[in-house]
Structure 1
Amino acid sequence: METCGECGARGCPELFHRLLALDHARAEPWGPLHGVSVSCFLLQHPARLPGDGGAGAREFLRAYLDGGLPAVERLVGRARRANSHRVTGQAAPGGAARPVREAPHGGFAVTIEQVAVDGTFPAEGFPERVEAWASATLAAWGHDGA
């Protein structure tokens, strides 16, 4: 397996596709953590960051680490309401976008490789591994993630 030049994991594209397949099956424990997993992956792969420089993904991870899945669900609910066709001319939840900064390259204490364990993303301990991934990802971006 090839080592990723962005996150430092071996075989990360294949692992990410395996994780997405588990996420999209909507089964426990993978499905509920889909947004957290995608946010971690994006923030560890600067070339894939959206136009906001990853501000939304960092906000998502901070919400998860501070308040767990209920906080994430509230954030997603606000985003859905803001994206509704019935809402016009209003700013998206979260206020003004944070300034874009250069993303860290590699040096992540936890990558998708550790979350995958043996490449299969075993259910046992998965939520704890994702929490460690989220924490390590935000730590690499700096304390406040800005």
Structure 2
Amino acid sequence: MLGGMANCAACGAPGGGVGCQERFERLLALDHARREPWGSLHGVVVACFLLQHPGHPLAGPGDHGPWWAMLRAYLDGGRDGLGALTETMRRGNSHRRRGRPQWPTVPVPPQRAAPTGFGVTIADVAVDGSFPADGYEERVRAWAESTLAAWSAEPTG
């Protein structure tokens, strides 16, 4: 136990007196300020967090395909790939179209129990709890890679 708080049961992040939910709220505040480097990576960090915390109320039940598509777009195409996906989704959400926008189809691993240990978690991205700008995008990329790798690995046990 670090600082009186156990490791996160969902992702394995060290507690250190602060839980993943509190870190997530701090990160969302930075994202919603629409300042760089945080704002433009909002979709990526939400996807990482919810894939590492599938029991979170925002995660909802069902298909993880949209989160997977978000991470694949970013990892495969960087900010340009993420921007292209965002623009596609924005066009699909137009009042001229009926129904919900369709996310691109990307290969997703078969449904299984969520992994509970990740090489990189929100605690790593937070560093000292402040999500410093220096190195932020590199930490987010590592978080996205780690999240997809854990979900893609063969379940053990």
Q: Does TM, normalized by the shorter one, top 0.5?
A: yes
Match of 2:69 in 1: 59
Match of 1:6 in 2: 10
Greater helix share, structure number: 1
Distance 1:140 1:50, change over 3 A: same
Distance 1:65 1:95, change over 3 A: closer
2-side partners of 1:66 and 1:19: how far apart? 23
Distance 1:54 1:89, change over 3 A: closer
Match of 1:81 in 2: 91
Match of 2:53 in 1: 45
Report the number of matched residues: 143
1-side partners of 2:70 and 2:115: how far apart? 20
The 8 Å contact of residues 46 and 105 in structure 1, kept in 2 or not, is answered as no
Q: Deviations over 1:91-125 (max 9, x none)?
A: 61414996861242311000000000111111111
Structure 1 unaligned regions, length at least 5? none
2-side partners of 1:65 and 1:96: how far apart? 13
Percent identity of paired positions between Structure 1 and Structure 2: 54
When structure 1 is superposed on structure 2, of 41-50 and 131-140 the one drifting more is: 41-50
SS at match of 1:47: coil
User: Pairwise CA RMSD of aligned residues?
Assistant: 2.2
Distance 1:50 1:72, change over 3 A: farther
Q: What letter is aligned with 1:142?
A: S
TM-score with structure 1 length normalisation?
Answer: 0.87
Structure 2 unaligned regions, length at least 5? none
2-side partners of 1:51 and 1:103: how far apart? 13
SS at match of 2:116: coil
Residue among 92, 105, 116 paired with 2:102: 92
Q: What letter is aligned with 1:54?
A: H
Q: Are residues 1:17 and 2:21 paired?
A: no
SS at match of 2:147: helix
Q: What letter is aligned with 1:81?
A: R
Match of 2:146 in 1: 136
Q: Are residues 1:107 and 2:125 paired?
A: no
Q: What letter is aligned with 1:72?
A: L
Q: CA deviation at 1:76?
A: 1.0
The 8 Å contact of residues 44 and 144 in structure 2, kept in 1 or not, is answered as yes
TM-score with structure 2 length normalisation?
Answer: 0.82
Q: CA deviation at 1:2?
A: 4.0
Q: What letter is aligned with 1:128?
A: E
